[in-house]
Structure 1
Amino acid sequence: MRSFLFVLIWWLPGAVAAAPPTLEPLQIAEQFVAPAGWAGMKDYLCCEAAGQAKQETLGQQIPARLQRSCELLNQTDSTAVVAVELRAPTERRDFYLHFAKEDHAWKLQAIRNLAMTHLGPPMVELLTALPPAEVAEYDRKHPDASHAFTVGNLRLWTAADADIAAHFRKNRADFRKMLRLVQAGRYFTTDSSAAGEQAANADPAVHALLRKLYLSRVTRRETGCASCLEFVIGGKVNSTVGLLYQPQPAQLPAMTPEHLIMLRPLGDGWYLYKTT
């Protein structure tokens, strides 16, 4: 019995040392997107992320020329979201890491980004190459969405988070004015009032500001938040980006990899959001 206890006591410290260290979501994200490999990666992955990163970290798959930075957007007792920005001299890209806590340990469960944005640049290139006569013809055929609006809207739709945030800050006064007009009109009196949404977007003053700010519409049906106002920039199918207003943080919708993939605070109750 004494020899058995001796072996057990000798073995236990090694067993404890072999356990993976406890890491927070931001620490896991930084390791996962770093250019170097990460031998302990599999201890911090689950669900679809475990199937996507079998041999290499995401950082190893990203071109080495891109700089990477991570920002914790939200962390609760059971979930967390980290935004990752990739930067090069002429480009910026964003994606989002969704975490869940399993058996008291954080695991990366899903990687998300705004879908189909690759369609935007070719469309912008085509539109900006039109000669003046064709631009005038375009405007005649599209009185509700001029050439200038369409180009600006496409560029904003495919822009990096930092650029959309800069657009909001630059035009904060117009965003506030538009918000006051929508609130004063009391268009959204029910959770899913299609008639109210149509009336809000048809209001000449609201419509003019939407076009000035390169926004496609105001709605309440994009993020699953019945008390939020959503000013949609654009997107394809259900993968959209826009600005959300909700001054009460407790009423904000929760981020999930299945729908609301990102919610970034911009100040004064405004948020940048993306869905998938």
Structure 2
Amino acid sequence: MKYILALLLWALPLLSWAEPPLQPLQIAEQFVAPGGWAAMRDYLSGEAAGQARRQSLGQQIPATLQRRCELLYQGPATAVVTVELRDSVRRSDIYLHFRRDSATTAAPWTLAAVRSLAMTQLGPPMLKILADMPPAEITQYNQKHPEASHAFMLGNIRLWIGSDADILEHFNRHRPQFQQAARLIQSRQFFTAPLDSTLAGEQAANADEEVLALLRPLYISRVTQRTLGSPAGLEFIIGGVTDNTVGLLYQPNAALVPPMRPERVIVMRPLGHGWYLYKTT
């Protein structure tokens, strides 16, 4: 018996030195670091485990890009970390979705999926065509497209393919105008609960001259409730292709804000006072 006690006493310091399991933010920082990560496989699950077989995400990202990780959400079973990639020219964002399998395992938190807004590669060529237009062509363009002027399209596409920081800066600069637009739309009761399957209210809202006069300078393409299906919420769509959209949600009731999931809402970033930046896939 005394030998067993002696063995336990000898092992106690080793147990106390054991490092605690990594948390989502720590895993993200290791996963996007430029160098390799020997323990990477222990912290991957689901599709992420199949995608990162030989290299971490950090090894696949150009070494010249700076990486900044931020814990956006961590709950009992899921977590989301945003990663901003930037250089001297531009910024972009990716979103790491984690799940907690069991508090008793050696690595309870694992990276399950990596997401970013898809189809944005279509934006830069469109932006170049618009930016290179001579004044005479811009005049013709505006005559042919009065509902979406040259200036509107430039601003809209820049936001669509821009970083979260770009959209946040735009929103904060025009927050009073966004709030004014939300109040006007609510006061005219275009959207009713439950969600209108006929889309009559949505069509009326996006045809209203006063609403459009507020939305166009904000580079918002339309307002809807269909993308997220949040009752009493207003979705100010910036842009996107098919299901890959980016926009601003106004939902004063936090309990009705859709949760982040890698299969649909890849990011939902609180902006304060009921406003959120969101992206879908």
Q: Cα offset for 1:141?
A: 1.1
What residue ranges of structure 1 are gaps of 5+ in the alignment? none
Amino acid at match of 2:99: A
TM-superposition CA deviations, 1:21-43 (whole Å, max 9, x none): 41111111111111121111111
The equivalent residue for 1:234 is 239
Q: Distance in 2 between matches of 1:16 and 1:120?
A: 54
CA RMSD in angstroms comes to 2.3
The alignment partner of 1:274 has SS state of strand
Q: Does 2:203 match 1:198?
A: yes
Moved beyond 4 Å, runs of 4+: none
Q: Distance in 2 between matches of 1:41 and 1:261?
A: 22
Q: Does 2:101 match 1:98?
A: no
Q: Distance in 2 between matches of 1:198 and 1:244?
A: 18
The alignment partner of 1:198 has SS state of helix
Aligned ranges 1:245-264 → 2 under 5 Å: 245-264=250-269
The equivalent residue for 1:188 is 191
What residue ranges of structure 2 are gaps of 5+ in the alignment? none
The equivalent residue for 2:58 is 59
Equivalent residue pairs, number: 274
Q: Does 2:152 match 1:149?
A: yes
The equivalent residue for 1:77 is 76
The equivalent residue for 2:31 is 32
Percent identity, aligned pairs only, is: 58
**8 Å contact kept, 2:99–2:109:** yes
The equivalent residue for 1:215 is 220
Match of 1:128 among 128, 131, 138: 131
Q: Cα offset for 1:224?
A: 3.2
**8 Å contact kept, 1:187–1:200:** yes
Q: Does 2:116 match 1:117?
A: no
**8 Å contact kept, 2:193–2:232:** no
Amino acid at match of 2:216: R
Q: Distance in 2 between matches of 1:87 and 1:191?
A: 42
Q: Distance in 1 between matches of 2:250 and 2:29?
A: 30
**8 Å contact kept, 1:20–1:43:** no
The equivalent residue for 1:244 is 249
Moved more, 131-140 or 162-171: 131-140
Amino acid at match of 1:128: A
TM-score by length of 2: 0.91
Amino acid at match of 2:164: D
Q: Distance in 1 between matches of 2:171 and 2:212?
A: 17
**8 Å contact kept, 1:20–1:40:** no
Q: Distance in 2 between matches of 1:258 and 1:53?
A: 19
Q: Cα offset for 1:261?
A: 0.3
The equivalent residue for 2:270 is 265
Q: Cα offset for 1:190?
A: 2.7
The 1:271–1:211 alpha-carbon spacing in structure 2 relative to 1, beyond 3 Å, is same
The alignment partner of 2:80 has SS state of strand
**8 Å contact kept, 1:191–1:220:** no
The alignment partner of 1:175 has SS state of helix
TM-superposition CA deviations, 1:184-225 (whole Å, max 9, x none): 011111333211111111111111111110000010011232
Q: Does 2:42 match 1:43?
A: yes
Q: Distance in 2 between matches of 1:21 and 1:75?
A: 17
Q: Does 2:171 match 1:159?
A: no
